[in-house]
Amino acid sequence: MDKKKRSIYISTELVLILVLLAAAVLITMLMEPHEIRTVMISAIFVVVVIYFIVSTLRKERWFAIAGQILTDCSDEIDKYVNAVTMPTAITKKNGVIGWHNPAFSMLAGMRCEGRNIFRIFPELHKPAKDRKVRIGNVTYVKEVIPARFGGKEYTIYRLIDVNNTYEASDLYRIVTAAVCHIQVDAYGDLLRGTAQEGHAKLDAEVDRIIARQTANVRGVYQKYDRDKYLMFFERRYLSSLMQSKFSILNDVKGIETGNAAFVPTLSIGAGVGNNPEEANRNAVAALELALGRGGDQAVLKDEGGYKFYGGGQQAIEKRTRVKARMFSHAMKNLMEQCDTVVTMGHSVPDLDCMGAALGIHACARQAGKRSYIVLDKPNAAVQGLVDEMKRDPDYRDVLVTPAEAEHLLEGQSMLVVVDTQMEDYTIAPQLVGQAGTLVVIDHHVRGTTHIESPTLSLYEPYASSTAEMVTEIIEYFSDKIYIKPLEVEALLAGITIDTKGFSFKTGVRTFEAASYLRKLGADTTTIRHLFQDDLETFSTRASVVQNAKVQDGVAVSWCPEGAKNPQLLAAQAADSLIGIRGIKASFVLCRQGDTVIVSGRSIGGINVQRILEKLGGGGHATIAGAQLKGIDGDAAEKELRRAIEEYKKES
């Protein structure tokens, strides 16, 4: 160490006493007679000895105080306090420094005992809530910890350079707050399915389980609504929840309600951040995602993004239509303020997508607005419906290309996105940001990437199809709404295709929607014509099924190169495979340009949505898909099989 760096460790008081001593010795040497000089030298010696004894005792006392105060801190904090990289000081109540570590004196450029900390660093005098301070060219996070010793009050000041100090960042990370928002799924339906005398017991059991979990992480919780809880704890305890895969989810499902059809489940949104505000914001976003994915799961949002736990239970169907009614009225009000309504679905649309679009078209016509549907290139799945539309003069100008839609969205316009919530999966992603009013209607499980901040949105993962959701919207849109036969049949065809003939994801509201459409005149014979395939498609699909490789109940197959409508073929082949005995889940891959498309299907035992979500896709537990861009076939299949193995380990 050079002289300049050593000099900062020389006490100011020591320099002063040495100067005074030298002056006293010089004056004494000039005094007469000899006896007086001897007395004065002896007196000076005694003063110096007393000073050093008092100084030593004071330092030892402060070391004892500092040691006791720092020992009272938690082990995780204590092991970092004396780190050279973290400036730390202990002051009296008035701000006078009694002890500090070398890092603090290095930062101050001097020994600081006996000096006021606010004169050395005026930045520390800011309010406690303002935790960031800038000293020199470095921004520190200020930690102020009150302490008591011997009946007196002290304060620990710690300056954490989170960006450059590994120990400091580790410490700061483990002591920051973690927030959990907890909500009982479908609480109203759960109570209706439970005997009256069991309501209090159900609430008490949920309270007890959440209280026990809170105690395990040494946190606090508050029940702020009949079905909502808020939990706070230090981030270091989050790892135990993650290792147990949020076992509280299974604990709540074990509560007896007296009705096997109603199993209580929780949705949990956990968030962490650099401060409680950010942690709470992340927790709210995580809970929204957990609810959008059907509930019965925990979603954690941290610096690395989203992590998912649970989700084995099927989304609980909500019997009430209040949400659909409120959405219908809100959409009608928004339509009345627009001049043009444009509806767009996902790329390579199916009958559910087109049926929902025609339903929105009927609503716009009822509101007296110009209405259009964006369609780039028809595929075999919707070709029959498109041909019917072209034969009807009323629909001749309804279908528009993405380029034409860009001009239609100028001015007072509304864009309705149906059957997808992911911007990149729409027919024309560039249109999403151009509409003055943006509405999203989708029944898929919500993914980590979705259209941000639409004007109005309706996500119902328990619905069988988007056509079912739009049918309910139509019911409440107007007392006397006129719907053309083709629109009614397209909506019923959409429900039929997504439920695989009312055999998958079919609830009470699905049959109610189908019954309503049948009353409006839907012709089931006409609908069958919309499902017909040509001989080539049927033969190719049979070969895909025949060439499938089955392992542990999971079938994987490929569509042949050059097949017509490969994405549609993959979906149909996956549907056919799960109809074979012994196959619990099926995945069919196809190549379209530089993208490998994966269609996944399940009969319910395997959650294909969780598998394909690992590949950037999504969907439902029984129907899901994914797109892998810029990858060859062998690599795509390896990624798929890796995701399947990961899912098996997690389950």
Please enumerate in sequence order all residues whose Cβ is within 8 A of that of 77, keeping only pairs 6 or more positions apart, or say none. Answer: 171, 175
Least Cα distance to 420 among 288, 618, 629 occurs for: 618
């001015």: which residue's tokens?
Answer: 411
Q: Is 498 annotated as a binding residue?
A: yes
- Residue with structure tokens 């929780």? 266
Spatial contact of 296 and 312, defined as CB atoms under 8 Å apart: yes
Please indicate if the annotation marks 170 as binding a ligand.
Answer: no
User: Which residues does 146 contact at the CB level (< 8 Å), separation at least 6?
Assistant: 153, 154, 155, 156
What is d(CA 175, CA 178) in angstroms, rounded to the nearest whole number? 9
Q: How far apart are CA 413 and CA 339, in angstroms?
A: 6
User: What region, left, alpha or beta, does residue 426 occupy, with left being phi > 0 and alpha being psi -120 to 50 degrees?
Assistant: beta
Cβ atoms 442, 476 nearer than 8 A? no
- Please give the structure tokens belonging to residue 41: 């030298």
Q: Residue 552 to residues 572, 635, 645: CA-CA distances in angstroms?
A: 22, 21, 11
What residues does 598 pair with on adjacent strands?
Answer: 589, 626
- Per DSSP, the residues of 74-131 read -HHHHHHHT-TTS-EEEEETTSBEEEE-HHHHHHHTS--TTSBHHHH-GGGGS-TT--
Residue 458 φ/ψ, nearest 5 degrees: -140, 110
352 annotated binding-site participant: yes
434 SS3 class: coil
Give the Cα separation of 601 and 584 in Å (integer). Answer: 9
443 is in an annotated binding site: yes
Determine the Cα–Cα distance for residues 389 and 372; give it in Å rounded to an integer: 12
Token pair for 40: 């004065």
Query: Which has the closest alpha carbon to 382: 360, 357, 402?
Result: 357
442 assigned ligand-binding residue = no
Task: Report the alpha-carbon distance of residue 552 to residue 554 in Å, rounded.
Answer: 6
Strand blocks (E) in 593-636:
595-602, 618-619, 623-629
DSSP letters along 194-241, please? S-GGGHHHHHHHHHHHHHHHHHHTT-EEEEEETTEEEEEEEGGGHHHH
The neighbouring-strand residues paired with 373 are: 343, 399
Number of neighbours of residue 102 by Cβ within 10 angstroms: 13
- Annotated binding residue at 75? no
Which residue numbers belong to the known binding site?
Answer: 346, 350, 352, 419, 443, 498
Which residue numbers belong to the known binding site for Mn(2+)?
Answer: 346, 350, 352, 419, 443, 498
